[in-house]
Structure 1
Amino acid sequence: MENTIVNYHATFSKTSGISEAARANFTALKSSRFTVNQINYIENKRQLIREHNNVLIDIDQKTINIYHININDIPSYILNNKIRTLPNTYNIAYWAWEFNKLPEEFVSLISLFDEIWVPSSFCQNIFTSYSFKPVVKIPHLIESIEIEESKPKIELQNKFVFLSIFDSLSTPERKNTDGLIQCFLDTFSTNPDVVLILKTVNLEKNKRLYKKLTEKANHHNSIILINENYTKKEIIQLIDSCHSYVSLHRSEGFGLTLAEAMLRNKIVIGTGYSGNLEFMNAQNSFLVPYQLITKDEDAGFIKKGYQYAEPDIDNSKKILKFVYANYNNLEDIKLNAKQSIENSFSKKAIGDLMNSRLAKISSFMKERSNVNLAKNSELITENIRLKHDIKKYEGNIIIKFKTILKSKTQKMVAYLFFIF
């Protein structure tokens, strides 16, 4: 057994794409020759707090920390936790990103870590452009799960089912839900035998999207909206119940559900851009042509200067129509898709990649002084805490001002009422 300890930090108990990816990759690492600890964090008022566990830090033990916490959540992580820069400690950030540029406030976070892991070549190119530190591609494990025969939560007898799964807090502009709905309705609005299932979570936390999607679902019987926290088994059952999985995304860091659908022997349609090209090609799926756009102004999460793909909706309609009309003749594509995932993203394949890299790190780790790294970490951490305190203070000032204004308004109304 290797004498290096590996601590895997993530929001393991959360319902999200990154948490699902962390759970899967931790599974691949559990069978390694290292001692591996799972360290879970829970979200409390937008802050990540370490769950109580019995994992102890031994400063004399060689330790590799893998922080599978996305870069935009690192500031909230730092408010309650430390990224330790002790001798004999090596810190890895496991990050995905969907655009060609990083926000300026995120760039400094790279210096907190010794190395970055990413799930795709697309992400690797992004982070390499910002850092001279190692940026290593470790894709996500796409695990084959056997589930017993049981009644699915939704029964769609004699319907042809297109499916799309997304988190309503994961930037609808990037997921391009509007484009998918319009594409589907333009193609099948007069066909009662075809339905589109939109499976999401956290919809109630996005009021604008909630209004839009519920209106669409209420006005079109062919659109089925599901906003529930499904178990992994229920997600797999839902994927198994569909004929085709569709994502007209503008950008993906990896595209976990696309890969899961391919493993479940489904016809997968997706924009031919970004992280999903790690596993999608013309032989195992349908890639939608696109036009590459550079944003000229901020629009929600997509900032000025970001590049993204605008999928060709007319071409998408043709693909959806073709898949529906020729579904029984697409067995070769389904087989190629399943084999692609089985060959390259299995527990053994991903586990071997992780173990190989960790073994190399362990071999070159020596007693080293982390004084400069520690000082840098303290400065960045202090800066994040300061920004948080300022934002909190400003928020309190605004609340106080609104309270005073409300009080004065009430007094004025009472005064006027008394006069008249």
Structure 2
Amino acid sequence: MVRPRSHSESPFLAPAFEAAPLHVWDNSFAETAAAVQLGIETPSAKEVESNPARAAAFLFGLLRSNEYLRRRFPRALSEGESGRFSRWLQGKGGKRLRLSDLALQHVGAVLRQQPGQRVRDVYLNDPELQRLYPLGLLPMGQLHFLKWLTTHGRRDQLLTDEEIHWFLQESAEDMVGNLCLTYLLQPRWQEQFPLALTQKGWREFTRWVRASYGNLIGRLPWMVPRVLTRAEQRSLERMVAAATPIEGAIHGVNLLSHFCNPSGIQQAALWTKAALERAGWRTSCRDVPVPRRVLPKDRARWLGLELYPVTILNQAATPYFVSGYERSGLYCRENVYRIAYWAWELEAVPDEWLQAAELVDEIWAPTAFVEKAMRSKMPRPVYHVLPGVEVGPIEQVTRASLNIPENHFVFLFMFDFHSQLHRKNPMAVFRAFREAFRGEDSATLIIKTAGGDVLSADLALLRETIRGANVILLDEMMTRPRAYGLIAMSDCFVSLHRSEGFGLGLAEAMLMGKPVIATRYSGNLDFMNQENSLLVDYEKIEIKEDRPIYTRGNYWAEPSVAHAAFLMRDVYEHPEKACARALRAQPGVQSLLSLEAAGQRMRARLEQIAVGQGG
């Protein structure tokens, strides 16, 4: 790989982003606000008693009209309810301004809520907004962004005037913090000034900022803000100076994934991070945003740079892998060894994955099944690296809360519609349950799903299929503690999947000591066998019609409903035997899938890379 030119080697600098300043403290702001129909009237102290929105408007007006308060409390809004401005308002300031106890309650509430955060979340999670308004977090570039906020933002994101005002005033309060955040979102700046967030590069970066934007940027500190630790700064300096991807020992690993999107991929990435850290490695994590109905609130926590010579990309090969760096706002350095950590569910890999594979140096497969599929086609070396799984806090879920009799034996299957209905095959679980039990039997089947609000046709098909007594369909997005509580409440986990790349639900149930019935096929066989679980016979069949992701001509399993029904009945009639098997299996599965063991597997491969045994 070729080392990219450092800033000092570049013959010229790309032009700065166009400034479009917005001065929220100036008298001119009233005219600007009127042009976009953004209200700026200041309520009376009495009107603050109405609601927190009126309290927010009161605070805006107070700070706009009082330069002394702005100087005394330079972070008035951004420090929130625990800040000095809030304490002043709750004490002497409130009395001086004649705010009643009710008014002060609303003031405290709005400072606690931080209304501007929603505008920031909209911006941080939208790569297109960052492209259109690269200075959207800074007053020197917010005039154009304000027009978007008061049109598309109001219409599409339902942003309120209070949220917009709060965001603008917070931006003015924390110029340095937002400058650093903008740097983390703009690959052009990262390329030009790779050491900007180190003491070595900060002064050069700020000189350029002042030269480009003059007095629009305000005062900048001489010392670099504490965005990176000293150790991270040293790692970045080594990275920029390195002539090859790997020079000496690897001190840490970069991770790119969908860290802010609740999903199996997110959880896998978090476990990869934890496994590496338990093996003694540092990590730098960058979120790759995906379209979501509910905005993540913490993306600023997941904007790590490529500080280390190895990057693991915990993403699916489609649809966002090729554009992952661009979407994440991260400059793609040339002197980095990149590893794709991919799961897949069929024996043949799609041709469109080949383009993504060209962007990495090697591929990690979570199971032997996936490794075999990858090796048959991928143009890069493939290594089998079994991941770790760890069950976290468990929220209690009672049978009474689901109207299940206490004496019933509960079977459970869980899946997400985004993982494809026909692959997950819940209808087969239902048919096996119906074949195994009659209405008078003390048995209940729970099929817990997620994503039915988006894939409503699949949800409707499933509802139509699984009607009947003692069958419960739960379609909701649960927290992981609540999902674990559902597993803990059940007596047996059943999966009649047609194929699995790994089988996360199966692994979690086994780690919790539950009997598990599952298809004897695909990735789950890395941790399931005849001794520790109940495996269902299958026939390999050809996929006869194109389905989302999985196209005709491929093959997967058709599990035997009759065999599954036999095993379900056997577990029901001999629960002690089933539980004994599960408890005997639990320590072995815990040892195999522990994050410590996974970290050592990853460490072993990374150390091979470090001594020149890369792909």
- TM-score interval (norm. to shorter): 0.7 to 0.9
CA displacement, residues 340-396 of structure 1 (integer Å, 9 cap, x when unaligned): 211211121111111222222233299xxxxxxxxxxxxxxxxxxxxxxxxxxxxxx
Q: Which amino acid aligns with 1:31?
A: R
2:420 maps to 1:171: yes
Pick the aligned partner of 2:599 from 329, 351, 365. Answer: 351
Letter of the structure 1 residue corresponding to residue 531 of structure 2:
Q
Please say if residues 395 and 484 of structure 2, whose CA atoms lie closer than 8 Å, have aligned partners that are also in contact: no
Compared CA separation, residues 221 and 352, structure 1 to 2 (3 A)? same
Q: Quick one: distance in 2 between partners of 1:171 and 1:44?
A: 18
Q: Supply the distance in 2 between the matched residues of 1:78 and 1:192 (Cα, whole angstroms).
A: 55
User: How many Å apart are 1:223 and its aligned residue?
Assistant: 1.3
Aligned to 1:190, which of 439, 463, 468? 439
- Kindly provide the amino acid, as one letter, of the partner of residue 340 in structure 2: A
Instruction: Report the equivalent of 1:159.
Output: 408
Question: In structure 2, how many angstroms separate the alpha carbons of the residues matched to 1:340 and 1:302?
Answer: 33
Question: What's the CA shift for 1:3?
Answer: 5.0
Change (3 A) 1:150 1:45: closer
| 2:397 and 2:482 in contact (8 A); partners too | no
- Paired AA for residue 444 in structure 2: V
SS at match of 1:44: coil
Partner of 1:110: 357
The aligned counterpart of 1:267 is 515
Structure 1 residue aligned with 2:458? 209
Task: Give the alignment of 1:278-297 within 5 angstroms.
Answer: 278-297=526-545
Give the 3 Å change call, closer, same or farther, for CA 222–151 of structure 1 in structure 2.
Answer: closer
Give the structure 2 partner of residue 16 of structure 1: 263
The SS at the match of 2:510 is helix
Q: Is the 8 A contact 2:257 2:286 kept in 1?
A: yes
C-alpha spacing 1:3/1:165, structure 2 compared with 1 (3 Å)? same
Residue of 469, 491, 512 corresponding to 1:243: 491
Q: Could you tell me how far apart the structure 2 residues matched to 1:78 and 1:38 are?
A: 12
Distance in 2 of aligned mates of 1:83 and 1:99: 32
Deviation, 1:75, is 4.5
Question: Match of 1:410?
Answer: none
Residues 140 and 345, structure 1, Cα contact 8 Å, conserved in 2: yes
Residue 38 of structure 1 is matched in structure 2 by 285
Task: Please say if 1:72 is aligned against 2:318.
Answer: yes
Q: Secondary structure of the residue that 1:308 maps to in structure 2?
A: strand
User: CA distance change for structure 1 residues 155 and 146 in 2, over 3 Å: closer, same or farther?
Assistant: farther
1:24–1:141 contact (8 Å) kept in structure 2: yes
Q: Which residue of structure 1 aligns with residue 581 of structure 2? A: 333
Structure 2: distance between partners of 1:82 and 1:72:
18
Q: Secondary structure of 2:262's match?
A: coil
Preserved CA contact (<8 Å) 1:173 1:302: no
- 1:133 is displaced (CA, Å) by 2.5
Tell me if the contact between 1:83 and 1:112 (Cα under 8 Å) persists in the aligned partners. Answer: no
Partner amino acid for 1:261? A
Residues 394 and 482 in structure 2, CA contact (< 8 A), matched pair in contact too: no
Partner of residue 321, structure 1? 569
In 1, Cα distance between the equivalents of 2:434 and 2:322? 41
1:202, distance to aligned residue in structure 2 (A): 0.5
SS at match of 2:419: coil
- Aligned-partner Cα distance in 2 for 1:360–1:155: 55
Aligned residues: 361
**Mapped contact 1:9–1:68 kept (Cα < 8 A):** yes
Q: What does the per-residue CA deviation read over 1:112-161, in whole Å, with 9 as the maximum and x for residues that have no partner?
A: 11011111000000111112522122222121435476757546321110
Q: Does 1:142 align with 2:389?
A: yes
Question: 1:320 Cα deviation (Å)?
Answer: 0.9
CA distance in 2, matches of 1:71, 1:179: 29
Change (3 A) 1:227 1:362: same
Query: Cα distance 1:120–1:83, how it changes in 2: closer, same or farther (>3 A)?
Result: farther
| 3-state SS of paired residue (2:539) | strand
**Given the superposition, is the C-alpha separation of residues 99 and 37 from structure 1 closer, same or farther in structure 2, using an over 3 Å criterion?**
same
CA–CA separation in structure 2 for the residues paired with 1:297 and 1:97: 19
> Post-superposition shift, 1:326?
0.9
Query: How far apart, in 1, do the equivalents of 2:388 and 2:282 lie?
Result: 20
Measure the CA separation in 1 of the matches of 2:579 and 2:438.
27
Shift of 1:86: 3.8
Aligned-pair identity (%): 32
Superposition deviation, residue 302 in structure 1: 2.8
Aligned-pair CA distance for 1:329:
2.1
Query: Residues 183 and 316 of structure 1 are in contact (CA less than 8 Å); yes or no, is this contact kept in structure 2?
Result: yes
- Whether 2:337 is the aligned partner of 1:90: answer yes
Question: Is the contact made by 1:6 and 1:63 (CA closer than 8 Å) also made in structure 2?
Answer: yes
Structure 2 Cα separation of the partners of residues 313 and 349 of structure 1: 35
Aligned to 1:388: none
1:299-314 equivalence runs, <5 A: 299-314=547-562
Partner of 1:374: none
The match for 1:129 is: 376
SS of the residue corresponding to residue 112 of structure 1 reads coil
Structure 1 partner of 2:140: none
SS at match of 2:363: strand
Contact 2:515 2:582 in 1 (8 A): yes
Q: CA deviation at 1:332?
A: 3.5
Note closer, same or farther for the CA distance 1:55–1:13 as it changes in structure 2 (3 Å cut).
Answer: closer
Between 1 and 2, higher relative CO (CA 8 Å, sep ≥ 6) is seen in 1
User: What SS is found at the alignment partner of 1:104?
Assistant: coil
Q: Where do 5+ consecutive residues of structure 2 fail to align? A: 1-230, 232-248
Name the structure 1 match of 2:449: 200
In structure 1, the gaps of 5 or more residues are 367-420
Q: Is the 8 A contact 2:354 2:379 kept in 1?
A: no
Residue 296 of structure 1: how far off its partner (Å): 4.3
- Check 1:86–1:11 CA distance in 2 against 1; reply closer, same or farther (3 A cut): closer
Segment of structure 1 superposing worse, 297-306 or 97-106? 297-306
Deviates more, 1:3-12 or 1:281-290: 3-12
Cα pair 2:394 2:481 within 8 Å, conserved? yes
C-alpha change, 1:45 and 1:229, in structure 2 (3 Å) is: closer
Q: Report if the CA contact (8 A) 1:192-1:222 is conserved.
A: no
Q: The residue matched to 1:21 in structure 2 has which SS? A: helix
Question: 1:241: Cα distance to partner?
Answer: 0.5
Structure 1 CA distance, aligned partners of 2:547 and 2:501?
A: 19
Q: Which residue does the alignment assign to 2:309?
A: 63
Cα displacement (A) at 1:33 = 3.1
Q: What does the per-residue CA deviation read over 1:59-92, in whole Å, with 9 as the maximum and x for residues that have no partner? A: xxx5211110011232563662588664431111
One-letter amino acid matched to 1:117: W
| Correspondence list, 1:320-399, <5 A | 320-364=568-612
The SS at the match of 1:6 is strand
Q: RMSD across aligned C-alpha pairs, in angstroms?
A: 2.7
Deviation at 1:284, TM superposition (A): 0.6
- CA distance in 2: counterparts of 1:33 and 1:300, whole angstroms: 40
Which residue pairs with 2:75 in the alignment?
Answer: none
The question of 1:6 aligning with 2:259 is answered no
